């Protein structure tokens, strides 16, 4: 399959998922760039519901980078405790807030390169801020869900999220960059799960290598063994 065919296939996949999983589910589209940035840092190694609770508690008391930068670490820790690893995250978000307050006049930098200079901010976090904070498609934020699903579908043949992002950017039309992360993450949580994916409920099996090469094979083997 050439790159043009894959681009058309990706468009069909995204349109099907949009009908099944409406974008905007995560609420990121209604948040400021600063809220998106801090929430994404808090989301590392925790569940969405814990991130939401921690973010809500933090921003109910502190709204600006300057306020968080001047807050006591112990108070920040208490507010973000639901997110897990709260001691490390408290130091990180206060330092990020201090840099934004002092070096960027309390405005999150509107640049992927500048975001990557902030402590603890990698490509995925920076890409999410650009997508959901600024509505700018400079990259395709790629986490374990996007990496897994892209490989299962056969869109890419890569081993790491970093390599998957590069490969996806070469074949996914830019008009889909803003939505792909959100759709694939939710799809990965609900259906295309890491262990025991719900293939029988999947609306895009006709485009999936995993379904045709592994799931159906296992199903047929189980059928013949009984």
Q: Supply the residues annotated as catalytic.
A: 124, 143
Choose among 195, 176, 185: nearest CA to 149. 185
In the block, tokens 């970093």 appear at 162
Tokens of 178: 């803003």
User: Residues near 168 by Cβ (< 8 Å), separated by ≥ 6?
Assistant: 140, 142, 146, 150, 155, 156, 180
Measured from the Cβ of residue 216, the count of other Cβ atoms closer than 10 Å reads 13
Angle at 169 between CA 163 and CA 164, to 5 degrees: 20
């Amino acid at each position: 399959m050439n790159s043009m065919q894959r681009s058309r296939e990706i468009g069909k996949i995204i349109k099907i998922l949009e009908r099944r999983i409406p974008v905007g589910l995560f609420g990121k589209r209604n948040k400021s760039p600063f809220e998106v940035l801090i929430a994404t840092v808090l989301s590392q190694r925790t569940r969405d519901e814990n991130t939401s609770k921690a973010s809500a508690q933090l921003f109910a008391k502190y709204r600006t980078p300057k306020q968080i930068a001047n807050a006591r670490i112990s108070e920040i820790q208490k507010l973000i405790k639901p997110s897990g690893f709260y001691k490390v995250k408290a130091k990180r978000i206060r330092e990020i807030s201090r840099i934004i307050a002092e070096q960027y006049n309390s405005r999150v930098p509107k640049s992927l390169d500048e975001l990557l200079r902030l402590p603890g901010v990698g490509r995925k976090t920076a890409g999410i801020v650009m997508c959901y904070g600024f509505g700018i498609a400079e990259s395709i934020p790629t986490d374990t869900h996007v990496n897994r699903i892209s490989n299962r579908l056969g869109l890419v043949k890569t081993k790491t999220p970093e390599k998957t992002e590069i490969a996806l950017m070469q074949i996914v039309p830019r008009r889909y960059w803003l939505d792909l992360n959100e759709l694939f993450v939710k799809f990965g949580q609900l259906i295309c799960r890491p262990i025991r994916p719900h293939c029988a409920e999947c609306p895009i099996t006709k485009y999936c290598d995993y379904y045709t090469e592994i799931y159906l094979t296992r199903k047929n083997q189980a059928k013949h063994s009984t």
